[in-house]
Structure 1
Amino acid sequence: MRGFFIGRFQPYHYGHHEVIKNIIEKVDELIIGIGSAQESHELENPFTAGERILMISAALDELNIKKKVYIIPLEDIYRNSLWVSHVCSMAPPFEVVFSNNPLVVRLFLEAGVKVFNTAMYNRDEYQGTEIRRRMLENEEWESLVPPSVVKIIKEIDGLRRIREIGGKEIGNGVIIGSKSNLKSPMIAEESQEEKKYE
């Protein structure tokens, strides 16, 4: 039996890890759909589909899964009544869907596809919104994602991207609001001029 599980994975975290470990015991093969694949470089969706594929692939390697896993990027089509057909046209055939998203569950049930809910794991911490908030506010986030995901986010300079998008940094990495950076360029120039005449 081949199953289907979809998420945005912004970023992939230990909650996803636990869900996939649970699903993989119930299926012979698993399709992981990357939702909103066209979105990136915004606070809710900071990472590209390609970066999310890297994160998922590396994290699954850590699990040492022996079963076949397909990772499929899926763009939004903004027409719910056609969404299941869109997914089915982009993914290998599957018999069962795993989801807790009420809309996803409803759409697949209406299409006659069997749907199972997934267990939730420490939802207060293991959710993309909280992890992105921590990244934005320069709080500890690394313990919420697998080590391979931490490595990828650092390699792509993902923290700076999120902080720049969120208005916490400007392009050169200067932290906005830092006391050391509150002087305007004109004041800095005046200070240099004063030193010349001291």
Structure 2
Amino acid sequence: MGKGIVLGRFQPFHKGHAHLVEHALENFDQITIAVGSAQEEWTVDNPFSIQERTDMIEAWVTSNQYQDKVTIVGIEDINDPPNWVEHASNHHGEGTLVTSDEATKQLYETSEFPVHWVDLHEREQFEGWRIRQTCMMLSTVYEDDATRMVLAPSVPESIIEWLIANDGLYRFSQINSTPHAG
């Protein structure tokens, strides 16, 4: 069945990502989760470091007993779309891209890289910016049960527990999303 490649920023890893990886696991023997924007951290769009994202994804992989089937790699951005696939391939290797993102699909297909399309799974609920904004709101709520309840519809339990155990939500209170006026 070969190797599937799931590409994303995973800021944080959410149930939409989990759906994509689980779909890939149904169709491929091995999966490489390619974590993009590896050099980015501590920003509104990219709050977590590559190590933190790897750790949270590993927590999910372990909780689902996928360790023998999943490899995680980081890929730094080069901000050069025509050369992105070649650059990324040096990190994630050969295989088939598994995606629900149209722009990524087109980029890989243009480079004649095999693509396996997955229909979007509850896209509005699982948009990364929505989840990050929810985390921002929760960053000042110091009640773990409330955090679990609010994040449960969109974030896997193992990721919620990782965020709580590693004080991951506090990060959002430290990231300024608007320029300082004075």
- TM-score bucket (shorter structure): 0.7 to 0.9
Aligned residue runs from structure 1 range 1-198, under 5 A? 1-65=2-66, 67-94=68-95, 96-138=96-138, 140-166=150-176
The sequence identity of aligned pairs, in percent, is 29
TM-score (norm 2): 0.84
In structure 2, C-alpha distance between the alignment counterparts of 1:83 and 1:76, rounded to whole Å? 8
The Cα shift of 1:17 comes to: 1.1
* Cα offsets for 1:63-113 (capped at 9, x unmatched): 22375211010000011111111111112332x111122332122112211
Q: Residue 183 of structure 1 aligns with which residue?
A: none
Q: Does the 8 Å contact 2:3/2:30 carry over to 1?
A: yes
Q: Distance in 2 between matches of 1:157 and 1:113?
A: 39
Cα pair 2:38 2:74 within 8 Å, conserved: yes
- Residues 81 and 65 (structure 1 numbering): CA distance in 2 closer, same or farther, change over 3 Å? same
Q: CA deviation at 1:160?
A: 1.5
Corresponding residue SS for 2:83: helix
How many matched pairs? Answer: 167
- Residue 142 of structure 1 deviates from its aligned partner by 4.0
Structure 2, unmatched stretches of 5+, are 139-146
- Partner SS state of residue 137, structure 1: helix
Q: State whether residues 136 and 162 of structure 1, in contact with CA within 8 Å, keep that contact through their aligned partners in structure 2.
A: yes
- The one-letter code matched in structure 1 to 2:27 is K
Where in structure 1 are there 5+ consecutive unaligned residues? Answer: 169-198
Give how far 1:155 is off: 2.7
Q: Note the aligned Cα RMSD (angstroms).
A: 1.9
| Rg larger for | 1
Q: Is 2:98–2:115's contact at 8 Å kept on the other side of the alignment?
A: yes
Contact 2:29 2:69 in 1 (8 A): yes
Alignment partners' CA distance in 1, 2:173 and 2:57: 23
Q: Contact 1:5 / 1:30 at 8 angstroms: preserved in 2?
A: yes
Q: TM-score, normalised to structure 1's length?
A: 0.77
Rounded Cα–Cα distance in structure 2 between residues aligned with 1:55 and 1:118: 23
CA distance in 2: counterparts of 1:52 and 1:27, whole angstroms: 23
The answer to which of 58-67 and 102-111 deviates more is 58-67
- 1:143 Cα offset (Å): 3.9
Q: Could you say if the C-alpha distance between residues 77 and 66 of structure 1 is closer, same or farther in structure 2, counting changes exceeding 3 Å?
A: closer
The offset of 1:124, in angstroms, is 1.9
CA distance in 1, matches of 2:67, 2:152: 26
Q: 2-side partners of 1:66 and 1:57: how far apart? A: 8
